[in-house]
């Protein structure tokens, strides 16, 4: 939907392509037009997505290395560090389709938001825009 005119455009699955792996409600994207018709879209470089499935990681599992597969809310599957669990939001870089290096901190976005909410009730307001380095 065009945010200024509220006009809606439809794209085929072919036009959307791999971008479908990162599309969530209310995500702002740029629609590429040719002769006034949509032909594709450009995503933001980073998208926060919820992990909906994360199998447990067995310590010492040398076959999988230091990563495990998870499924995101869009159905996309990617490999992440073993501390990532179901219900956590991670930042995904849409260009290579991998977890952003900035979200490798065990203190997930969801945990930082929860900590900030607890601190707001006590009158303390920390900067939750950056990982704090707190581990579990």
Three-state SS string over 23-61 comes to CCCCCCCEEEEECCEEEEEECCCEEEEEEEEECCCCCCC
Residues 6+ apart with CB under 8 A from 77: 69, 70, 71
Domain boundaries, the chain: 1-43, 46-121
Which of 19-23, 27-31, 116-120 shows the lowest mean pLDDT across its residues?
Answer: 116-120
| 68-72 sheet: strands from edge to edge | 77-80, 68-72, 46-54, 89-93, 98-99
Could you tell me the pLDDT band of residue 132, with boundaries at 50, 70 and 90?
very low
pLDDT tens-digit series, residues 70-79: 999 999 999 8
In order of 1, 2, 9, 52, 109, the CA distances from 6 in angstroms are: 6, 5, 10, 32, 32
Assigned CATH topology for domain 46-121 = OB fold (Dihydrolipoamide Acetyltransferase, E2P) (2.40.50)
pTM of the model: 0.64
Nearest to 49 by CA among 106, 20, 88: 88
Q: Which carries the bigger pLDDT value, residue 14 or residue 129?
A: 14
Q: Residue 13 above 70 pLDDT? A: yes
């Amino acid at each position: 939907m065009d945010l200024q005119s509220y006009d809606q455009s439809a794209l085929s699955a072919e036009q959307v392509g791999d971008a479908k792996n990162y599309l969530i409600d209310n995500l702002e994207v740029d629609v590429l037009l040719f002769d006034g018709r949509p032909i594709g879209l450009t995503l933001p470089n980073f998208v926060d997505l919820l992990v909906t499935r994360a199998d447990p990681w067995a310590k010492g599992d040398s076959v999988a290395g230091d990563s495990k597969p998870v499924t995101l809310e869009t159905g996309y599957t990617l490999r992440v560090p073993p501390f990532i669990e179901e219900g956590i939001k991670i930042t995904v870089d849409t260009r290579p389709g991998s977890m952003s290096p900035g979200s490798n901190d065990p203190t997930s976005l969801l945990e930082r938001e929860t900590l900030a909410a607890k601190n707001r009730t006590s009158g303390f307001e920390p900067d939750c825009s950056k990982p704090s380095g707190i581990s579990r």
